[in-house]
Structure formats: C-alpha cells, structure tokens
Structure 1
Amino acid sequence: MRTVNEEARRAKEIEIMEACFDCYAENGFTSVGVKTIAKACDCSVATLYQYFDNLDDLIVKSTEYCMSKVEDDFMAKAPTDVDDLWRFIDEIPYWTAKKHGKKYRLMYQIYTHPKYREYGQKFFKGVDERYTEYAKSLEPKLGIPHEKLTPLIFILIRACVHYALFEDEFYLKSQIAVLKEALELFIMKYNLKAMSGTVTE
C-alpha cells in the first residue's frame, strides 16, 4: 500500500514528466536544455534530479509515460460495435494528428536516436502486447477473431501516425481504403460462420 508521501512523490514525477514532454514537443528535442526543462516544470534543476537520475532518465521515462497516455486516449475512442467501426476509422486519424501530432513527432525523434533506441524497442514490444490485448477485447464486440484484428489495428495505427507526422492524405486514404475492404471481408466471413454455427478459425 502506498503511503501519502509515496503518492505525493509519484504525483510530482508525473507532473514533471508531462511538463518535460510537452516542452520538448513544443520546442524541439535538440534545442532544449535542462534549465529550460526545469523552468517548464516550475522547479529547479536540483529538484529534477531528486526525482530522476539524470536528463536521459527523465527523457526516457517521460516519453514512455506520456505516449502510454496517448494510447489510453486512443483506446477510449474505440468502436463499441461493427456499425461504429466506420465512424472510428474515419475520425481517428484526424483526431490523432490534431491532438497528439507533436507528441508523435517527438516520440520518433527520441526513439530513433542511437542513445535511446533500445528503450524504443522495449516500448514498442509493450505496444505489441497492449494492442493484442485490445484486439482480444474487441473480438466479442465485432465478431472477428483477435488474430485477424491485431494486424488491422497496426495498419490503422501506422496510418494515423504517418498522417500525424506528415499530413500525407494520399498515404492515409490508400491505407484506410485497404483497411475498410479487409474489415468488410472479415465481417462477412465471420458473421456468416456465426449464423451457420461454424466454428471460427
């Protein structure tokens, strides 16, 4: 059980991570120093080092925490049934770009940097696991096996992220068109199996 002091410390860590990540996202990863980060976090540099081992530790932890929160936002908008799928697919790329575009751009700057690449690999391994679980939660709602849903989710995520990075309408529309066609085929296939009493693959 966490004590009041532990809870207060964790709340302060989160406050610093969010302010740090927002500062980098707004100003650029390579042009911001530790004093600017401390100012954005409304604390001293010494205070930062009371909560994090060093600036690298702060960067890695703030990226992981803040991008996990972005995932939570994404999942909160998930479709609740087959009919809601199309609304979700049409809206989510533009919502992602508008609300989280800067964060995605920063995440890729950090996780492709040689110093932090191993942390990126670890983060995306977790993403693989989380979106697989997400697909499992959608399986009963959509009637499509999660093994089929998981790669479709990654296609959608990739399309959303690419659009957030570059606002490339051609890439987005081509990916979404293929995704919708695949979903239509799967819905037809597995709904027919369900109606006929055939066990799904």
Structure 2
Amino acid sequence: MKTTEQQHNQRKQEIMEKCFECYAENGLTGTGIKALADACGCTKANLYSYFKNLDELIIESTAYCMEKVEDDFMEMAPTDPKDVVRFVKEVPYWTAKKHGKKYRLMYQIYTHPKYIEHGKKFFEGVNERYTEYAKRLEPKIGIPYTIITPLIFIFVRASVHYAMFEDEYYLKTQMEVLKQGVALFVDKYKENQA
C-alpha cells in the first residue's frame, strides 16, 4: 500500500520531532545517524528517504520544532491585560522547564557557521510573528503595536536566556524593566484616551 502525501508529511514531522529531541538530549555532536534512526524506530536508510542528508534534517527539524515551541509559548500568552502579571511571573520558569534543552540546541545550531543563514531566516520569521501578535494585542490593551513589539522581544529574550542558563539575576532585572515600561506606557496611553 502506498503512503499518501499526508501520511508521508505526518511521518516526517514525527521524525523531525524525535530527532530534535534526541539532539537536545545528547547534543549535536554526540548524536549519530544510528541513534537518530533508533529514536525514530526506523532504519538509517529510511531517514534518508525523508531528508537528503543530515544537514537538511537538522535545518528542517530545528525550524519545525522551534515553531512548535513558539506556538506553545504563544498559547500561554495573555489575551487580557489583567493576565499579564501571571504571564510574566510564570512563563520564564515554564519555558526553562519545558523547553530549555531545545533552546540550547537551537542556539548551538543557528550560531554554527554552517547554519547561520538558516538562523537569520528563522528569526526574521519570529520578528514577523511577534509583530503580528502585538498588532492583535493593540486594540485590547490600548498601546500601539510599535511599543508592544519591543516589549515582547524583551520578555521573550529574557525568558529564553533564563531557559538556557537559569540566570535568575538577569531574568529579574529584565522583568523589572519590562514591568516599569508597561506601567509607563499604560499610564501614557490612558491619558491620551481620556
């Protein structure tokens, strides 16, 4: 029985997730093709039926899995201004626990000279997605998206830094600046609406 394109794509996604997890657990240089095939429950040859080579597998699995991490992150994002405090308090710790290894691997890959152009492309997409999210927040909290976007970047980068290094001091100083910035902008734009 031939597999349909949908089945092929679903299996490819499963393979990307399992390979990325395997790399995150064991390191990029500490993981060979046999370990990847074993993690996926397939043969080495089967992996090559989905990817031309290991570089393609690394590039595609990193982009795919980190977009899924980003989706997880955005699902927890506040939809109401009253929920911002909870989000700011909880999410950095949740991110570290759930995705810390993945962020460390992502930066290992995207800062490697071989893959840096793919990293630039991925982060251009991140910038676009967070800007779109800020545009959706603008009418809900009354602050222009051009102000919200950099605040999101501060928050995300502080959360990712914490997930990678568990640097409590860095996290707390960034969160304090963020809270003060949000309070100032809320006051400023409330005055303009009055």
By the TM > 0.5 criterion, same fold?
A: yes
Q: What is the Cα-based RMSD across aligned positions, in Å?
A: 0.8
CA distance in 2, matches of 1:104, 1:82: 28
Give the C-alpha shift of residue 143 in structure 1.
1.2
1:144 corresponds to which letter in structure 2? I
**Corresponding residue for residue 55 of structure 1:** 54
CA distance in 2, matches of 1:39, 1:115: 26
**Corresponding residue for residue 77 of structure 2:** 78
- What is the SS of the residue equivalent to 1:40? helix
1:22 corresponds to which letter in structure 2? E
**Corresponding residue for residue 20 of structure 1:** 19
Moved over 3 A (4+): none
Question: Which residues of structure 1 form unaligned runs of 5+?
Answer: 197-201
> Which range moved further: 77-86 or 173-182?
77-86
**Corresponding residue for residue 187 of structure 1:** 186
CA distance in 2, matches of 1:154, 1:106: 20
CA distance in 2, matches of 1:141, 1:92: 21
Correspondence 1:1-201 to 2 at 5 A:
5-194=4-193, 196=194
1:39 corresponds to which letter in structure 2? D
2:102 corresponds to which letter in structure 1? K
Give the C-alpha shift of residue 192 in structure 1.
2.1
CA distance in 1, matches of 2:43, 2:167: 41
Give the C-alpha shift of residue 19 in structure 1.
0.3
Deviations 1:151-184 (A, max 9, x none): 0000001100110111001000000000000000
CA distance in 2, matches of 1:42, 1:96: 28
Deviations 1:83-113 (A, max 9, x none): 1111111111001000000000000010011
CA distance in 1, matches of 2:94, 2:138: 24
CA distance in 1, matches of 2:80, 2:188: 16
- What is the SS of the residue equivalent to 1:51? coil
- Corresponding residue pairs, total: 192
CA distance in 2, matches of 1:31, 1:98: 22
Identity %: 64
| TM-score for both structures, normalised by structure 2 | 0.97
CA distance in 1, matches of 2:34, 2:139: 50
1:36 corresponds to which letter in structure 2? A
1:10 corresponds to which letter in structure 2? N
CA distance in 2, matches of 1:49, 1:104: 26
